[in-house]
Amino acid sequence: MDDLEFVHKFVKGDIQVREEFLKRYSRLIYNYIYHVLTVKGLNDYLSYVDDIFQGFILFVIEDDCKRLKCFKARNGCTFATWIRQLTINFTRDYLRKIKPLFSLEAESNDELSLKDILMDNSLPLRESLSIEEKLKVLDYCIELLSREEKYFLELNFNQGVSLEILRDYFNITRGAIDMQKSRIIKRLRECFKGKGFLS
């Protein structure tokens, strides 16, 4: 049975195919989840592997297997490859939900906090803003970033993953990873300025 037929039977509720799915893909899914956590240096989250796995299985079957119905086997994409990407995306999303909120004091590996980066010492910070207001503005500005930019920010600042490791993870040059960080900082600065952080 080819991948499309396998998925079709799974979606239709074939018990044998669903059992076969668990036999065939459980180990791969576990490995992908573990890989995402370890490659990114998120060893503190390894205790979540089982929870992420169970969440992923529910995610696959929820809404009448809505996600599985998206698999079309186009361009030679195998079901295993497709499940790999789905697992990686799900794991990233799961981590975003359980991670602590960004802190203005959180430092990246170069020992700069978001507050240090966002503050322009040549322009005074609006004194009237409370810490809570500043964090609300920070959260607002972060929400405007793309998914990948948020993920980069989380890894580099909140988790302290070095730019070298991120370069390997994203499979881009060191110059490109530096440029990405600069672009994110610029966008956050512009957002902060627009919200009255910088006069």
Give tens-digit pLDDT for 82-120. 898 889 888 888 877 766 544 444 545 555 555 555 554
pLDDT at 122 > cutoff 50: no
Is the Cα dihedral 152, 174, 192, 133 positive or negative? positive
Mean pLDDT to the nearest integer, 5-26: 89
Q: Select the CATH number that applies to the domain covering 3-98 from these four: 3.30.450.20, 3.40.50.1860, 1.10.1740.10, 3.40.30.10.
A: 1.10.1740.10
Angle at the Cα of 73 (from 70 to 78), degrees rounded to 5?
A: 115
Mean pLDDT to the nearest integer, 43-64: 84
What percent of the chain clears pLDDT 70, i.e. is strictly above it?
76
- The domain segmentation of the chain, as residue ranges, is 3-98, 114-194
What fold characterizes domain 114-194? Answer: Arc Repressor Mutant, subunit A (1.10.10)
- Name the pTM for this structure: 0.49
Show the DSSP H helices in the chain as ranges. Answer: 3-11, 15-39, 49-65, 79-98, 114-118, 131-143, 147-153, 163-170, 174-194
> Which residues, 6 or more positions from 141, have their beta carbon under 8 angstroms from its beta carbon?
187, 188, 191, 192, 195
197 in Cβ contact with 189 (< 8 Å): no
| Cα gap 179→147, rounded to integer Å | 17
Give tens-digit pLDDT for 129-149. 456 667 778 788 888 888 778
Question: How would residue 128 be classed by pLDDT, with cut points 50, 70 and 90?
Answer: very low
Q: Which residue has the tokens 């299985």?
A: 57
